[in-house]
Amino acid sequence: MTPIRITKSGTKIIDGIEFNESPPSSLKRATTKKWATALFQKGSIRMNSLNHLRKLEDSQRGDENEGKGLYLLNGHPMRTGSVNEVFAWCTCRDTVRDEYLLRMFEGTDTIVRISDPMELARRIIRAFKLLPWRLYLHSGRVRYTRGKSVTKHTLNNQLWHFNIFQKEGRFKPQREYRFSLTIVGRKRIDEDHLDLELGYCGDIISII
Q: What is the pTM of this model?
A: 0.86
What mean pLDDT is reported for the chain?
Answer: 86
pLDDT > 90? residue 207: yes
pLDDT > 80? residue 53: yes
pLDDT band at 72 (very low <50, low <70, confident <90, very high): confident
Largest distance between two CA atoms of the chain = 51
Q: How far apart are CA 91 and CA 23, in angstroms?
A: 12
Mean pLDDT of 84-90: 91
Nearest to 19 by CA among 157, 129, 186, 161: 161
**Which has more pLDDT, 176 or 160?**
176
pLDDT at residue 197, as a whole number: 96
Q: How far apart are CA 118 and CA 5, in angstroms?
A: 15
pLDDT > 90? residue 94: yes
pLDDT at residue 81, as a whole number: 67
pLDDT > 80? residue 84: yes
How do residues 129-174 score in pLDDT, each as one tens digit?
A: 889 999 999 999 988 887 777 677 766 666 666 678 888 888 888 8
pLDDT > 80? residue 88: yes
Least confident of 50-64, 75-89, 109-123, 176-190: 50-64
Structural domain count of the chain: 1
Q: For residue 207, what are the CA distances in angstroms to 30, 162, 196?
A: 10, 31, 19
The conformation of residue 189, written as its DSSP 8-state character, comes to: -
Range of the domain at 169: 4-207
pLDDT at residue 159, as a whole number: 62
pLDDT > 70? residue 59: no
